Structure 1
């Protein structure tokens, strides 16, 4: 339900509800071993980018520095 509600807001109601319920390996929303590889990769890249930004501070203790 939340997927369709978000779809209505962001994509102007182009939700394909039958495709969301399709549990066959060839469906558009099929995950590998319970995880979406593209989503996992995006999370890893975003986390690494945020870490690099936070650790780049040169004036004073860094936000994630355990030695501070």
Structure 2
């Protein structure tokens, strides 16, 4: 049963992070997410895409570790 709880906790953490990223993007607005910013030529959208990619990879690795 512990294994099932770990899986559900992981899923909830992923959902929570996804929701938080969605809120941040919504607050920034469409125009802002396309403007280059503090990270050279990377736009806000580029940074979010990069972080999301790593989040998905990490979640997949954690999920595999729970098997």
State the TM bucket, normalised to the shorter chain.
0.3 to 0.5
- More relative contact order, 1 or 2 (CA 8 Å, 6+ apart): 2
Q: Which has the higher helix share?
A: 2
Using the size of structure 1 for normalisation, the TM-score is 0.38
Using the size of structure 2 for normalisation, the TM-score is 0.38
